[in-house]
Structure 1
Amino acid sequence: MNFLELCVRVREESGVSGTGPASTVNQVGVLAKIVGWVRDANNDIEKLKSEWRFLWRRALTVLVVGKQSYSPLELNVSELKSMQRIRVGDTILREIDWNEWVECYELQTGQGLPQVFAIAPDNRFYFYPAPDTAYSVTIDYFSKPARLVNDADVPQMPEEHHDCIVQKALMFYAHFEEDQALYQLAAMRYEEKLSQLCSDQLPRMGFARGPF
């Protein structure tokens, strides 16, 4: 479902009379509130876990010879929320914190195949050593939540889990209307749908192999 279809679904399930909304913009009254509740529900769910599989991204780019510092935009990761790994050529780089970078690498001027990287407080990326050739770079990361704005915007989570958004928005509506029965029903359904989303979209738990 897209943003508008989600809003219509919430209006129908809430029991609000009439039709619509016909659009997600320029609404008034309860329809405007429904639009806001759907937007907030999607945003809350996306922010709930930083490692949702539907937020995983892979960016490809090329480093510039001798260039040590790069903006997120230059590395095609402008929507970065959390880093998973960076591979330069066939080498997976070690991430270090900014303090270690300042203390150990900031004044180094060597060039070669990068081995470590750090992310500065302003979100710029720094590599050491600076590349001595135009190495290919692969960056695996998790993106920021995407705010629903236009009618045709589609949530990032798989469509089979969109009812999780509907039930969360119904909880907002029921709280506003002080409808305890609807709130309890929507909350129960939300927890069920959220559990399914977590099972499907969070990393699988593994167990280390023992010596035998």
Structure 2
Amino acid sequence: MNYLQLCQRLREKVGASGEGPLSVAGQRGEYARIVNWIDEAWIEVQRLHNTWAWMHKEASGSLVPGLMAYTAASFGISDFGRWDINDIRLYDVDVSDEKYLLHKDYDQFKAVYGVGKQTPGRPGYVSVNRANEIVFGPVP
């Protein structure tokens, strides 16, 4: 059942008049409330369990020398909720030198890598900053 069908089913269940909605876009009045209820329910379902496999995707990208913080879009991620920082790996040329990065709480991370002039190096730590960006330390 798709989003529109869920809205139509809800309209039927609550006994609202009409045959619609015929679309989820641009609704007003009673149909707008139905569409909004389905939207809110979908968000609640997604928040029930953050370990559902369908909510996880793998991504990869390159780190830029001198750049510590990266958005999801930096790695080509368009539908994003949160980082799984317990499974971040890094390698230079190929997987032969791949290693897991260790997670640091952001306040601890900032105390080490967010003050003073940083010496670039191969990152060994990862965290998520207040802007929901993934940050690497030391800076690449």
- Range into which the TM-score falls when normalised by the shorter chain: 0.7 to 0.9
Aligned to 1:54: 54
Return the structure number with greater strand share.
1
Q: How does 1:1-212 map to 2 (within 5 A)?
A: 1-77=1-77, 79-83=80-84, 84-89=86-91, 90-106=98-114, 107=116, 109-131=118-140
User: SS in structure 1 opposite 2:42?
Assistant: helix
User: SS in structure 2 opposite 1:5?
Assistant: helix
Q: Runs of 4+ in structure 1 displaced over 6 angstroms? A: none
Whether the 8 Å contact between 1:50 and 1:82 is mirrored in structure 2 is no
Structure 2: gaps (5+ residues): 92-97
Aligned to 1:137: none
Aligned sequence identity (%):
31
Structure 1: gaps (5+ residues): 132-212
User: SS in structure 2 opposite 1:59?
Assistant: coil
Q: CA separation of 1:65/1:18 partners in 2, compared to 1, >3 Å: closer, same or farther?
A: closer
Where relative contact order (Cα < 8 A, 6+ residues apart) is larger, the structure is 1
Q: CA separation of 1:2/1:66 partners in 2, compared to 1, >3 Å: closer, same or farther?
A: same
Counterpart code for 2:57: R
Counterpart code for 2:59: A
Superposed displacement of residue 28, structure 1: 4.1
Superposed displacement of residue 98, structure 1: 1.9
